[in-house]
Structure formats: structure tokens, C-alpha cells
């Protein structure tokens, strides 16, 4: 058995892979933003909501964080048509990733809310801050500083998680790699170039998010 690596056959497909990487970034970004909305609502409900609402949110978070995202999307994609809801693979992946992200981001944001100590709020009250001033000058800066590092970490994890979409035929980075592999059969080459592209896009994301975190929120973050 001798196999010689021939990256030359892969280069013509590089633009296609890059387009796939762009789609991966889009999916991660949209799902993250959706998840952030759900997470903010969920964490607010957990911190200030009434009993039944809290239990409902807790149930949602517990269920989605304890089951695989892949099987959640399988359920959306294959089981919902039985109930007459037909989703395209792209929509199913996006909804699945958003719901999954929402659960994790609820948990992360709740921890961030809880990190505001009551003594800080009392100090703000003593200084005569109004409710909105407390939110603007005490809670938000504190929460942003504490939350930015775990949120950007989650964003990186989600960028890697988008590779799951390939299984449903979405043509993002890994999906394109599957297609190119079945056209050229240069498996090792295709998948190592794909892996390298993931390393590059997550490294760029880490550096950019680290810079934003350091200078905008004064968060303690490692750049690499």
C-alpha cells in the first residue's frame, strides 16, 4: 500500500471550500444571535420570573443540555414531517442549533447575572442611583465583563458545531469537504485542508473576540 499525498488536485476546489467556510460562519453567527436572545430571555426568567415559568425554563435548559444536538436535529428533520411540519435541512439545522445554543447561553447568562453581588447594588443605592442608572452603570458593565469570555468561548464551540450540518446535506465547510471527497477520493488531503480552515477561522475569531473583550469590556482574556 503506498499512497502519495497530492494536494495539487485539491487546490482547484479551494474557492468552494472557502465559500463553505463562509456559510459555516453565517450559520454559527445566526444561531448564536438567536441563542443569545433565547438565553437572555431565559436567564431573566430564571432570575426574576414566577415559579412555573422558572420551572419551564429550567426544564428546557436541562433537556437540551443533556441530549446530543445531532439527535435533536434528527428529530426536527425526520420526525416533524409526521406531524405535517416539513423543514428544509438548512432550516432544521438552524432551528436545532439555535434551540441548543439558547439552552447553553441561558445557563451561562444566569451565572453572569448571579455574579453581581448584592453589596454592589446596595452601594449603588447608597449613592442615590435610580433603577435605570443601576442597570446602566453597575449591572451592565459588570455582567458584560464577566460574560464576555464564556460567551466568546461558546461562539467558538458553535463554529465547530456547525460541521454537524454536513450530515443533513447543508453545503457548509464540512459538507463541501464530503462532496469534494466523493468527487476526487483524495480523502486525507480534503479533510486536512478542511481541518486547517477550521483552525484558521477559529483562531481569527479567538483573536478578534479577545481584542474586543479586552478593550471594550476590560475582560481578562487570552488572545491565543
Where do contacts with other proteins occur on this chain (CB under 8 A)?
Answer: 1, 3, 62-63, 65-72, 74-75, 78-79, 81-83, 156, 160-164, 166-167, 174, 177, 187-188, 191-192, 194-195, 198-199, 202-203, 224
Q: Which is nearer to other proteins, 58 or 129 (CB)?
A: 58
49 in Cβ contact with 106 (< 8 Å): no
DSSP string, 156-220: HHHHHHGGGGGGGT--SHHHHHHHHHHHH--HHHHHHHHHHHHHHHHHHHHHHHHHHHHHHS---
For the bound state, the minimum distance from the C-beta of residue 144 to other proteins, rounded and expressed in Å, comes to 23
The phi, psi pair for 185, rounded to 5°, reads 60, 20
The phi, psi pair for 111, rounded to 5°, reads -60, -40
For the bound state, the minimum distance from the C-beta of residue 1 to other proteins, rounded and expressed in Å, comes to 4
Q: Which is nearer to other proteins, 47 or 65 (CB)?
A: 65
Q: Which is nearer to other proteins, 105 or 166 (CB)?
A: 166
4 in Cβ contact with 68 (< 8 Å): no
Q: Which is nearer to other proteins, 71 or 127 (CB)?
A: 71
Q: Which is nearer to other proteins, 19 or 121 (CB)?
A: 19
Closest by CA position to 13, among listed 224, 190, 182: 190
Q: Which is nearer to other proteins, 98 or 174 (CB)?
A: 174
For the bound state, the minimum distance from the C-beta of residue 104 to other proteins, rounded and expressed in Å, comes to 11
For the bound state, the minimum distance from the C-beta of residue 23 to other proteins, rounded and expressed in Å, comes to 14
Q: Which three cell numbers stand for residue 110?
A: 444566569
For the bound state, the minimum distance from the C-beta of residue 15 to other proteins, rounded and expressed in Å, comes to 19
For the bound state, the minimum distance from the C-beta of residue 78 to other proteins, rounded and expressed in Å, comes to 4
Q: Which is nearer to other proteins, 64 or 217 (CB)?
A: 64
Distance from CA of residue 155 to its chain's centroid? 4
120 vs 113, 126, 135, CA distance in Å?
A: 13, 10, 12
Q: Which three cell numbers stand for residue 172?
A: 457548509
For the bound state, the minimum distance from the C-beta of residue 99 to other proteins, rounded and expressed in Å, comes to 12
Distance CA 91, CA 128 (A): 49
Amino acid at each position: 500500500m503506498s499512497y502519495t499525498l497530492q494536494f495539487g488536485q485539491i487546490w482547484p476546489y479551494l474557492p468552494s471550500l472557502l465559500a463553505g467556510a463562509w456559510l459555516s460562519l453565517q450559520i454559527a453567527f445566526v444561531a448564536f444571535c438567536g441563542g443569545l436572545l433565547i438565553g437572555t430571555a431565559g436567564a431573566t426568567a430564571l432570575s426574576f420570573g414566577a415559579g412555573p415559568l422558572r420551572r419551564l425554563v429550567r426544564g428546557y435548559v436541562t433537556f437540551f443540555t443533556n441530549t446530543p444536538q445531532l439527535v435533536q436535529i434528527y428529530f426536527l428533520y425526520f420526525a416533524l414531517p409526521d406531524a405535517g411540519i416539513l423543514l428544509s435541512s438548512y432550516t432544521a439545522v438552524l432551528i436545532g442549533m439555535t434551540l441548543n445554543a439558547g439552552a447553553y447561553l441561558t445557563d451561562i447568562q444566569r451565572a453572569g447575572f448571579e455574579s453581581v453581588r448584592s453589596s454592589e447594588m446596595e452601594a449603588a443605592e447608597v449613592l442615590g442611583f435610580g433603577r435605570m442608572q443601576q442597570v446602566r452603570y453597575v449591572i451592565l458593565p459588570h455582567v458584560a465583563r464577566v460574560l464576555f469570555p464564556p460567551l466568546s468561548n461558546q461562539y467558538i464551540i458553535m463554529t465547530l458545531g456547525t460541521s454537524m450540518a454536513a450530515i443533513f446535506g447543508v453545503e457548509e465547510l464540512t459538507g463541501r469537504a464530503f462532496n469534494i471527497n466523493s468527487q476526487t477520493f483524495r480523502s486525507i488531503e480534503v479533510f486536512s485542508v478542511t481541518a486547517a480552515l477550521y483552525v484558521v477561522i477559529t483562531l481569527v475569531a479567538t483573536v478578534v473576540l479577545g481584542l474586543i473583550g479586552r478593550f471594550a469590556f476590560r475582560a481578562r482574556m487570552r488572545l491565543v
